[in-house]
Structure 1
Amino acid sequence: MSDLRAGPSPSELDPVFNVYETGTDGETLRYYGSPRAPSKSVLQELWPVFRERGYEVRLTREYGEWVLIAEPVDLGVDGIPWTNVVLFVATVLSTLFAGSLWYHLDPFSAEIVHAWPFTLSIMSVLGVHELGHYVLSRYHRVNASLPYFIPIPTLIGTMGAVIRMKGQIPSRKALFDIGVAGPIAGLVATVVVTVVGLSLPPVTAPQALMANPNAVQIELGYPPLLELLAWAVDRPLYYDDPATSVNPVVIGGWVGMFVTFLNLIPVGQLDGGHVLRAILGDQHDRIAAFVPAVLFGLAGYLYYVRDVPGDAAFIWAFWGFLALVFSFAGSATPIDDRELGTGRMLVGIVTLVLGLLCFTPVPVQVVS
């Protein structure tokens, strides 16, 4: 039997896992044996034992044998995260390009740099959202990457940002904290960006653009939270002159609200799925199962009943499909599945309600 000096001894595992052989593969430890309890109970008992020694453990079967595989937990950033840096720079450029169009600037000239307020607003609301997840992941000692921004030629120049988590979620509390931290942090940044944007002067399209019969206009649907903030600071969102529109920094706030709502859809690995799973436990599947149908129904209602152009209907049909995929993929299962306290439950409910305030049925329309 191999000597695993860095990890738990076989005798420490014996109450729930009978070890008959051990081995190492580099820094990975392997304990072959037979469980004395259901696999979920084995992990609940042994996860803290391995974690104290700096290992992430999982129970699986290899060639018909049960084996505990323990790998070192690495919570640090090794070297310069070049992938994150390159994607960040690319997203800055793509949002500058998109922002120049909102400012009615030439995106193929030096004027593009004047769209920096738009870029700063977008990168802020997305970055703060992901950093909320990152900070709470580190707090609960869950291995997480730095944010990956996603540059893409859309109306806002990006498809958002994500972080990648590896390893087990230690408890429902950790699952809840990590899931809810992003939307809360992102909403704080969104409110700040929106208020700043509302205080800035509106932009006016050039007369030549307005006179072009082939020109199209992008109309955004403002969610209740944005309307409420505009009322609170007594600034307009709508103008009598069709050539005049809000400052593009406000659009950065709109993006923050739209991203918050989408992330709080209560299904699968989305933030809303994490929050709902932490609050309801296994019962969350009963609610998550209806989410795709609701989104598909919304798409059908807008297209066939409201006769809204297909842009909005496509958005919700697309997210209905994604919700279906997320639902089949399932949600995160924490090691310690004990119920949350009342305080966290209230925070979760308030966060989900705030997410509803970020919803608008017709987020965007392209008008001739």
Structure 2
Amino acid sequence: MSTVPPADAPSPEDLTPVFEVTDVRRDGDRVLYVGYPREPPATVESELAPLFYEQGFEMHLQARGGSPSGEYAIVASERSIGIDGIPWKNVALALATILTTLYAGTVWYHIDVAANPLHALQAWPFSLAILTILGVHEFGHYITSRIHRVDASLPYFIPIPPPFGTAGAIIRMHGRMPSRKALLDIGASGPLAGIVATVVVTVIGLSLDPITVPRSIATSDAARIEFAEPLLLRGLAWLTGQPLSYADPTRQLHPVVFAGWLGMLVTFLNLLPVGQLDGGHVMRALLGRRQETVAAAIPAVLFGFAGILLLRGDVSIEAGIWIVWGVFTGVLAFFGPAVPMREEPLDRKRQAIGLVTFVVGALCFMPVPFRIVV
């Protein structure tokens, strides 16, 4: 052997059952174990990946191009789950989303910013509510990822124009999931943490006084948007004894309630059991490889649902959301879910957590999230 692997890395003897090591080399920060597989390459990776993971390394097996003897190399690199430097992209996107949600809030507060753009600051409760829901959701993923020592980025917020001001937020995970247990914990932690924040925000919004809509707007014949009421929103209104609508058209629910509504919509969409969505992670952890069968059916279900709405004739524009998500989930299903290194079934506790997570999604479901009334 020309090089001895680091003390904290697997030894060549540890690999012997599935990989015959003939040489160990350094390649910058990586360690290369050169040799010959004793099993098919896929089996070598599935057998050795957990060993390297437990000792703080990521690994992959690659054929050594140009080698007449059919040599392979196991390429091992130390895992890093820390944050290097200031995450400027995350900060910039967060600041941009603050601006776009403030601007979106001016629509719901009926604030005129034409004369003075600083008036948009009056919409801070809406912006804070949205960012809190999204932030709690993503940091649920982030913290659980750190617990399982899976490398994850800080949240990337996604700014868009009104009426929402944001398309949500994401975190990026690098490397492979160590187990179905970790996949379940990481996948479910975001929606469960986010729904707690959504409930708190919604209850606060329902307790706030309704805002006054200018009569010229309230009595206008212009098109308006009507939002659906998911079971969770109706339940919270019932528990708090607060109305979800008013007979007086100049009275409107506080925009913080709309922030809670948006949190419910994001939760449901995230829990569609396909691909890299949270629901895809949870379903993959629950069902193992059988999850792919469920995922393949989701786009067809969404397209079918859009077709039913189109046949009704009065929701043609609103059905577009399910057509878009049918295409999106079709792409996600094609690329597939995260694949854990270990396929041990979940214990009953985590099975229950997975089922509760999907119940939360069902409580947030809206057949037609909004409709445009002319």
> What's the TM-score, normalizing by structure 1?
0.95
Q: Is the 8 A contact 1:147 1:163 kept in 2?
A: yes
Q: Is the 8 A contact 2:5 2:31 kept in 1?
A: no
1:295 and 2:302 aligned: yes
CA distance in 2, matches of 1:220, 1:65: 61
Moved more, 32-41 or 132-141: 32-41
Q: Match of 2:85?
A: 79
Q: Is the 8 A contact 2:112 2:119 kept in 1?
A: yes
Q: Is the 8 A contact 1:121 1:252 kept in 2?
A: yes
Q: Match of 2:5?
A: 5
Q: Aligned match of 1:222 in 226, 229, 249?
A: 229
Q: Aligned match of 2:265 in 258, 267, 277?
A: 258
Offset from partner CA, 1:319-348 (integer Å, 9 cap, x none): 000110011001111001110011111111
Q: Match of 1:243?
A: 250
CA distance in 2, matches of 1:212, 1:238: 18
CA distance in 1, matches of 2:334, 2:64: 25
1:351 and 2:357 aligned: yes
Q: Aligned match of 2:152 in 144, 147, 153?
A: 144
CA distance in 2, matches of 1:205, 1:217: 13
Q: Match of 2:94?
A: 88
- Cα distance, 1:364 vs structure 2: 1.6
Offset from partner CA, 1:267-290 (integer Å, 9 cap, x none): 111111111111111111221111
CA distance in 2, matches of 1:52, 1:317: 43
SS in 2 for 1:76: coil
CA distance in 2, matches of 1:40, 1:107: 59
CA distance in 1, matches of 2:318, 2:331: 20
Offset from partner CA, 1:168-199 (integer Å, 9 cap, x none): 10000000100000010000000000000000
Q: Match of 2:60?
A: 58
Pairs aligned (count): 366
RMSD over aligned Cα atoms: 1.6
Q: Match of 1:155?
A: 163
Q: Which residues of structure 2 form unaligned runs of 5+?
A: none
- Cα distance, 1:38 vs structure 2: 3.7
Structure 1 residues 333-344: aligned runs within 5 Å: 333-344=339-350
Moved more, 80-89 or 283-292: 283-292
Moved more, 112-121 or 69-78: 69-78
Q: Which residues of structure 1 form unaligned runs of 5+?
A: none
Moved more, 235-244 or 355-364: 235-244
Offset from partner CA, 1:15-72 (integer Å, 9 cap, x none): 2111223332210222222222344442343234323442111223342643212121
CA distance in 1, matches of 2:286, 2:219: 55
Moved more, 338-347 or 236-245: 236-245
Q: Is the 8 A contact 1:147 1:161 kept in 2?
A: yes
1:308 and 2:310 aligned: no
SS in 1 for 2:60: strand
1:200 and 2:220 aligned: no
Q: Match of 2:73?
A: 67
SS in 1 for 2:200: helix
Offset from partner CA, 1:243-291 (integer Å, 9 cap, x none): 3221100111111110110010001111111111111111112211111
Q: Match of 1:49?
A: 51
- Cα distance, 1:218 vs structure 2: 1.8
Consecutive aligned runs of 4 or more in structure 1 exceeding 4 Å deviation: none
CA distance in 2, matches of 1:16, 1:308: 62
- Cα distance, 1:4 vs structure 2: 4.0
Q: Aligned match of 2:275 in 247, 250, 268?
A: 268
Q: Match of 2:323?
A: 317
1:131 and 2:126 aligned: no
Q: Is the 8 A contact 1:4 1:29 kept in 2?
A: no
Q: Is the 8 A contact 1:169 1:334 kept in 2?
A: yes
Q: Is the 8 A contact 1:312 1:361 kept in 2?
A: no
Q: Is the 8 A contact 1:198 1:230 kept in 2?
A: yes
SS in 1 for 2:281: helix
CA distance in 2, matches of 1:133, 1:311: 34
CA distance in 2, matches of 1:262, 1:79: 33
CA distance in 2, matches of 1:181, 1:4: 41
Q: Aligned in 2, Cα 1:336/1:96: closer, same or farther, shift over 3 Å?
A: same
CA distance in 1, matches of 2:284, 2:140: 19
Identity of aligned residues (%): 52
Moved more, 4-13 or 320-329: 4-13
> What's the TM-score, normalizing by structure 2?
0.94
- Cα distance, 1:232 vs structure 2: 0.6
CA distance in 2, matches of 1:227, 1:42: 53
SS in 2 for 1:74: coil
